[in-house]
Amino acid sequence: MISREVSNQIKSMRQFTQSTTLMGYVTEIKEQDSAFSIKCRSGDELLIHVARETRFQSMQNLDGIDRDRYPNPEDFTQNPSQLVKKYIHSDRLVAVEGVYLEDGENRRLDALNVHLLQTFDGEFLFEQTHWWLTQIARLSDTWLGFLFPNKVTYEIDDFRLYQTNLNIVGLRTDDNLQESSTLSRLIYGLSSAYLLTGSESYLSAARAGVQYQRETFRSLTSDGKHCFWASGKRRTEYSYQLYMTSQNDDDRGTIPLYEQIYALAGLAQYYRITLDWEVLDDILRTIRTFNDFYLDFESKYGKDAFGDYFSHLDYATLSWDSEALGDNQGRKNWNSIGDHIPAYLVNVMIALEPLPITDGNYEEMQKFLETCKKILRTTSTIIIEQFPDPDENVPFVNERFLRNWKPDHDWRWQRNRAVVGHNLKIAWNLTRVANYYYFSADKIATEDCLEAARAKKLADDLMKLADKLGTTMADLGVDLFRGGIFDTLERNPDNGFPIEFPWSNTKDFWQQEQALLAYLILHGCSNESKEQKQEYLRLAQETAAFWNLFFLDQDSKGIFFRVTESGMPVIEGSYGNKGGHAISGYHAFELNYLAHIYISSYVTKQPFCLYFKPNKNCRQRSLNVLPDFVRPNSLQVNRINIDGGERDSFDPDNFRITLSEKEFQLGSEAEIVVELKPL
């Protein structure tokens, strides 16, 4: 869509046409003219013309169900004016696909598809209680069907056939690489699907995947104290080749920290469900590897600044300072600092705090939890102190750094460029961490006033940056005409416009996830005004609309990696793959999981359930059930069901559930269902 300012400068456009998408709120309805006006986020108001071939469609989920329940007006016919009368309501958000025409001074947009995002009563379809549950279940079924056809339960041997790379219809590509961090992210997705639905097949697959990951990719040091994860495994003509170093172009020949981080994503989410002590041991060993090999021991944040990590190691020397690393030598970046928080840290800390009742390893768990707390504090402090640009005119964070935290604007493709999704990922995760420190401050306020004040001060600082990024990305990273989140922008545009694209104005799937989660949690937890929080909700709803309309692959029941500015899938080359290094059962599943929790907690205030199933050989006799880092007094336990039996009495404000020997039922695995109620 050509902006009004640009089209006014071009006086001689003759018979210009362009297919485009617009998203906006209905401002005027002209039934007799078969037209209606919408106001885009840009502030521009446009008249939409409806013709006989215009289709009105209710947005569909991956179940393919037509949710159009708009009643027919009296004496209804299918002519355009009657369609406008039936479907178009003032102040409703709609998305329109159509053809823009311009001939001299004449301009109009003819609608081909008008997407209805709300029910007749005005409820957003994606805010209904079952929307994200349905989506995560269909995605899980599809992934498992592609990888392991005709299976309901899963064993470790099934995952020997796991393959990272799948084409657009889910078939295996010629590259049979198995990436450990990508497998772990699929395990995260399957575990999340179980947490939301309680479907045993998803937990069965997650369990088999965990067993395969630990058996195949785990590499322990000789003393058993450290764990490195092999990057991948590829089947050759006669055997298998195991790769300790990354096969990704940006990191080839090194051990990048982000791959080690994401090797924990699935393990951490699985551990929350099962309390499997062997899995926790591997998480502990891996984090010890972070602190003994990747840590900057001369960090400005102190001798024990767990969290100030280098981004890459040389495999031959296990050094961050080897010349063999090239332009990854002695570097730090967003992934090496911030990715700890969403990948594993939130879930590990939720599982361990308050400390569980155990069979004797309490002190070791306590020490490990303190290490996790140090990582959380250091990484979040680094983000608010080092990532914002010193130049107040630059709204984006820096993402790559030299050892001394000087921004690195010469690194390969990134140079002096901002990834919009990373800025929103920071806004999302800083809000989560702020919630943790507000919760901590509230909990210790009567015991240690000074420490409570420090925790609150850190939380306030985290929220300040989160809000700043959330609002600035709404102006620069959001498509103001069509909705959706752009990919990469120049941090210092020199084209005379507010934004400049180094490549194209396409939109990637994972950046929509970061935006939706950021705006949902900012709506629920921001310290800003009610008006600003309502604006965050509108941003979340517009992002959710773009995601559900244009990123769901209805034909193959998957997710498109990239779409054009107007929502058409980009499927050339690797972008046509359903599975690959950067797309697996992770971001989409994480979106489903947390969107359901955030919408229930902060938007609709509807109770929701989480499902757990501790292993029969776990060493804990308690289970922590918080879904995420939340503010004090925002959730309560509303119901506890253990193996089909309701618990009669419990403390609704206690998120650690103690399990009796009878309830634990040694020798079997009892399903625990916890219903949480937003306040």
- What domains can be seen in the chain, in order of their start residue? 4-123 (2.40.50.140), 131-603 (1.50.10.10), 608-678 (no CATH)
Contact criterion met (CB below 8 Å) for 406 and 499: no
pLDDT confidence bin for 350, thresholds 50/70/90: very high
**Residue 667 predicted with pLDDT over 50:** no
The answer to whether residues 479 and 486 touch, using CB atoms and an 8 Å cutoff, is: yes
Residues 6+ apart with CB under 8 A from 602: 520, 521, 523, 524, 525, 678
Greater model confidence, 126 or 2: 126
First vs last C-alpha separation in the chain? 43
Position 665 scores a pLDDT of 59
Residues 600-654 have pLDDT tens digits of: 999 999 999 999 999 988 888 899 999 999 999 999 999 999 988 999 999 999 9
Residue type, 350: I
Model pLDDT for residues 133-185, shown as the tens digit of each residue: 999 999 999 999 999 999 999 999 999 999 999 999 999 999 999 999 999 99
DSSP type of residue 480: T
More confident site: 236 or 280: 280
3-state secondary structure 610-671: EEECCCCCCCECEEECCCCCCCCCCEEEEEEEECCEECCCCCCCCCEEECCHHHHCCCCCCC
State the residue for tokens 């983000």: 383
Q: pTM above 0.95?
A: yes
pLDDT digit string, tens, across residues 251-261:
999 999 999 99
Contact 296/309 with Cβ under 8 angstroms?
Answer: yes
Helix (H) or strand (E) holding 45: strand 45-49
pLDDT digits (tens, 9 = 90+) for 16-73: 999 999 999 999 999 999 999 999 999 999 999 999 999 999 999 999 999 999 999 9
| Cβ atoms of residues 622 and 365 within 8 Å | no
